[in-house]
Structure 1
Amino acid sequence: MADVLVVVKVFPESDEVNLDNLYEEIGKKLPAGYKLVRKETEPIAYGLKALIAYVQMPENVEGGTDTLEEIINGIQGVSHAEVVGITRLGF
């Protein structure tokens, strides 16, 4: 079974949210088999930036990426998160 790489755009509640701390918190909340691979930031407007998180996860997970979105949306400091890309990793 292969893994997939999911690109998630995470919008913070305000520009006061530390995106590095948010990234670490996401890593702590991920279930077994999920792994944070990389992060980037993307300017939104007026100094607000979104966190772009790259998450490696098993391909055949019940609920798919919806579960991942729910986990991230439940973290304090997150306004909302959405999957913006997904690709299959071949090993």
Structure 2
Amino acid sequence: MTDVLVVLKVFPDSDEIDLDKLAEEIGKRLPTGYTVVRKDTEPIAFGLKALVLYVQMPEQTEGGTDVLEEKASEIEGVSHAEVVGLTRLGF
């Protein structure tokens, strides 16, 4: 089975949110088979930054990337999360 790499942008509630702790919490709540392989930040405005996570997950997943967005959005301190990229790994 092939995996996919999902680019997930997570928008915090405020600029006081610790993005490293947020990334750790999201990583803990991911379903089996999902792995955070990289994390970055991206400036939004007025000192606010978005957390950008690169998550490897199985391609044939029920619900697709919706599950990933939902899990991240449920965490305290997250305004919302959205998938901004997707690519297949391995051919």
TM-score by length of 2: 0.98
1:1-91 → structure 2 map (5 Å cutoff): 1-90=1-90
Distance in 2 between residues matched to 1:21 and 1:2, nearest whole Å: 30
The answer for unaligned runs of 5 or more in structure 2 is: none
Percent of pairs identical after alignment?
74
1:20 CA displacement = 0.2
- Structure 1 runs (4+) deviating above 6 angstroms are none
1:12 CA displacement = 0.2
Counterpart residue identity of residue 67, structure 1: V
TM-score by length of 1: 0.98
1:58 CA displacement = 0.3
SS in 1 for 2:61: coil
The answer for unaligned runs of 5 or more in structure 1 is: none
- RMSD, aligned α-carbons: 0.7
**When the two structures are aligned, how many residues end up with a matched partner?**
91
Counterpart residue identity of residue 26, structure 1: I
